[in-house]
Chains A and B, each alone.
Chain A
Amino acid sequence: MAHDTHIHVRSQAEFEYTKKKRAEEMRGHLATFAIMIFLTLIAFTMVTAGFSAYLIVPIVLLLAAIQVVLQLYYFMHMSGKGHGMVAFFMFCGMFVAFITILALVTIVWW
């Protein structure tokens, strides 16, 4: 049946090891979260401080891109094993997304 799985009862040592590894991973997620908050703060501060738009726009877009990479690779575990097809799907989606935005933004210029 579709829900079948092999039941493997882990030894105490194996269990403790996985648990410890997971707790370490969770600490990593907390660090990722701190970085995301920090990036958001920089973006909002830059706009409120009123720097030149030519300076702000590329920087806030870069900060957004970094935040999305952190979200996808760490919070959504795309950096984990068995995410090859997932990455293929997402990069195809992002490629079509990029073309769509490029097309509609340039059409209104001409």
Chain B
Amino acid sequence: MDINQKYTPQSWPEHPETATMEGKNKFIGFWLLLAAETVTFASLFATYLALKDKGPSGMEFSAAGLYELPLVFAMTMILLTSSLTSVYAMYHMKNHNFKAMQAWLGITVLLGATFLGLEIYEFNHYVHLGFGYTNSAFSSAFYTLVGTHGAHVLFGLSWFIALMLRNAKRGLNMYNAPKFYLASLYWHFIDVVWVFIFTVVYLMGVIG
């Protein structure tokens, strides 16, 4: 059978992401990656917690005096909303509505790019205050943890854009349905990590 086999909403399987052997393998392999990513981020969180507010004597910056909650709140709401829009995209993917899926993915990408822009603004602001990467053990741990998350956002955005462009004329089929599904799982995982970042880094940082 041809991988470019055309489907209609009636013949589209109920779970297109795991309807083929290829899809099943991708699904299980990708979740294994997410489990490994959990450990990666845990090691960065552990480093941050161990080194929070630590550095050379007389260092100027501490978590309580640095973070600005209104910006973090805006970033949180934007990323959380982008998680919902990617749920909408997968809802339309399962209904075999390619155009609606592309539109919701487009909105997700816009929200993700806004989030990334705000994060770049935040880092730039801190660096201008004199809180650079090499400032203290605390600053290195902070930038490595939050920056790794930011790099994941950038990768997720590029992944979505690449999928949307590559498949713009192909439409939905068994070849790309698992790909779209995995990219949306990755996007949700990015939000999962952010929930812990805004709680452990920012909220608990402001309390001191």
Contact = CB atoms under 8 A, between A and B. Distances in A.
A76 B188 contact: yes
A68 B196 contact: yes
Contacts of A67: 195
A90 B199 contact: no
Nearest to B18: A82
A22 to B, nearest CB: 6
B192 A29 contact: no
Nearest to A23: B91
Interface in B1-40: 1, 3, 5, 8-11, 13-14, 18-22, 25, 28, 31-32, 34-39
Interface in B60-106: 69, 73, 76-77, 80, 83-84, 87-88, 91, 94-95
- Chain B: interface size category: 35 or more
Interface in A29-53: 29-30, 33, 36-37, 40, 43-44, 47-48, 53
Contacts of A53: 207-208
B46 A64 contact: no
Given A36-B80, A71-B188, A105-B46, A90 B22 contact: no
B interface secondary structure, majority: helix
A4 B13 CA distance: 12
Contact of A4 (B21, B25, B73): B21
A2 B28 contact: no
Contact of B95 (A5, A22, A92): A22
A90 B192 CA distance: 13
A107 to B, nearest CB: 7
Nearest to B49: A105
Nearest to A61: B199
A26 B20 CA distance: 24
Interface size grouping (class) on chain A: 35 or more
B87 A104 contact: no
A7 to B, nearest CB: 6
A44 B35 contact: no
B42 interface: yes
B52 to A, nearest CB: 9
Interface of B: 1, 3, 5, 8-11, 13-14, 18-22, 25, 28, 31-32, 34-39, 41-43, 45-47, 49-51, 54, 69, 73, 76-77, 80, 83-84, 87-88, 91, 94-95, 174-175, 185, 188-189, 191-192, 195-196, 198-200, 203-204, 206-208
